[in-house]
Amino acid sequence: MTRVTAIDFETANSSPASVCAVGISVMEDGAVEEKYYSLIRPAENVSRFFNINIQIHGIRPEDVEDAPTFREVFTDIYPYLKDSVVCAHNARFDMGCMKAACENVGIRVPHLKYFDTVALSRRMCPELPHHRLNDMCGYLDIELNHHNAASDASGCLMIVAHAMNRAGCYEIEELLGKFGVRVNYLY
């Protein structure tokens, strides 16, 4: 079975490079194997916190003063991402954060295969009016502390697990094919 890694970023402001937290949850052989969470001190050029972002995730500038930089955190998270199919709820946002944060600090953007669990949610539960992470987790009875990056990554991965159980298909690429969900590539 292919390893599936869910990722979620929170940002300090409207710049996708301003990552201030990351959560990762990994499923291998049908079981959640590992979880990772870290606050991140945004790079100096994108370090301003907007009030709207603080209201969403509750992370303040003082919370990240002693946090590792994205460069330091990337060293920790890359092993979870390589050799995985990566997913995120609204993957365009999270993959945009990954790319922008890497480019901002001079890290080569990793080559990742990824998919969006919003698309999977729409295919799995077309009867629902909304497919936001909190809506899906509520509908599927998945515990969620929304906008906590670790909890959001875990909730995202549990949506994948529900889809696997519902379809009786535990190979991620086969599952995505069954649901007609597109696999994308980050370069």
Report the alpha-carbon distance of residue 91 to residue 119 in Å, rounded.
10
Closest CA to 100 of 17, 7, 13, 8: 17
Structure tokens at 183: 């696999």
Can you tell me which residue has the tokens 């539960």? Answer: 125
Per the structure, the count of domains in the chain is 1
* Residue span of the structural domain in which 177 resides: 3-186
pLDDT at residue 89 greater than cutoff 90: yes
Structure tokens at 101: 């944060």
pTM beyond 0.95: the answer is yes
* Per-residue model confidence as pLDDT tens digits over 17-59: 999 999 999 999 878 888 999 999 999 999 999 999 999 999 9
Q: Which residues pair with 186 in a beta bridge?
A: 112
Residue range 78-82: mean pLDDT, rounded: 96
Residue range 67-80: mean pLDDT, rounded: 97
CATH of the domain at 89: 3.30.420.10
Report the alpha-carbon distance of residue 5 to residue 124 in Å, rounded.
19
**Helix, coil or strand: residue 112:** strand
